[in-house]
Amino acid sequence: MNSSTKKLETILAKATGGQSLEKEDLIFLLGIDDRDQLETIFRVARNLRHKYFGDKIFLYGFLYITTYCKNDCRFCFFRKSNTASRRYRKKDQEIVSVAGRMAESGVHLIDLTMGEDPAYFNRRMNGFEKLLNLVTTLRHTTGLPVMISPGVMQDDQLKNIAEAGAGWYACYQETHCRSLFQRLRPGQDYDVRMGAKLAAHQRGLLIEEGLLCGVGETPADVAESISVMRLTDADQVRVMNFIPQHGTPMENRTPPDSIKELLISAVMRLTFPDRLIPASLDVDGLIGLRRRLDAGANVVTSLVLPGGGLAGVAQHSLDIEEGNRTSTRVMSVLETIGLRPASVKEYIKWIQHRKRSVEENRSGEKIAC
């Protein structure tokens, strides 16, 4: 047994034994490229998922309700200066109708995704009140938890959105390397964005944090991100491969091999064995789902119904009108690998348990990130 294999076995034993991985452990794991060692990591990640979740997989219905955004993120198709981007704001009636169809199809959560659209924060137009009313309506009409991702919100807004019925607040940092953050999100404040997530937790919202890989980060940068996610006690953590977008400053950048995303996802499972880790349909579509589940994911995100006129994020048309991003197609993949969609009751039970854990773990101390 060579030294690399021995070190890998030692780190994996720590993970399976419930010990926290050190940053040096994470850097070592994230630097592995040997195929056999990668498969070993994926197997351990699957075993940990099974230990905490059995064969249950959660499904998220995706509603991109507005493609307007005030930001100019260099990687995003919907950046404000991209004239190639198709803009829309979906009407409430349309959103409620599609959400109802999604609930009937078997999803466990309604994911209200949006750019940081100024219209929703325009006091003169009562935009924020409209968002609050929409969240309340969706909670009542679908009976499902609601996730929102409107960008940075103030503490009073987070309080209002939680009281309206939102259960989740998604706000991705993309990276926790401050210099890279500034290159990816010019003009935005790293600390303000981090602070919004911490404030959301204080208001009783569960938080989702996310990374973008293939944008210039190093294994040490990713290890730092995972360490910060652990400090913030994120409830759902994810990673997505960078996809070049037409009309953006990064459109000619070569995307990374998908193995990089899979490895980061597996390392997240080793670090967060009892948390939710998504496998997105928004990068490779249905064809890439099994590989992501085999790396330890336990949530399938970005389910989009055909005929709804809704965009994706990284791949704004991939597999949508073909019907490949529906619960039915996803369930067929789950069945082939011995997994099953959870019931809504099982998902809500997990949320309730997780919220109790957050309350118990909250020390009231300020987290420095």
Residue 108 has pLDDT above 70, yes or no: yes
- Distance between CA 151 and CA 131 in Å, rounded? 13
Answer yes or no: is pLDDT of 126 > 90.
Answer: no
> CATH number of 21-359: 3.50.30.60, 1.10.10.10, 3.40.309.10, 3.20.20.70?
3.20.20.70
pLDDT at 123 > cutoff 90: no
Domain map of the chain by residue range?
21-359
Q: Is the dihedral of CA 158, 312, 252, 223 positive or negative?
A: positive
Give the chain's mean pLDDT.
93
Digit-coded pLDDT (tens) for 13-67: 999 999 999 999 999 999 999 999 999 999 999 999 999 999 999 999 999 999 9
Predicted TM-score (pTM) above 0.85: yes
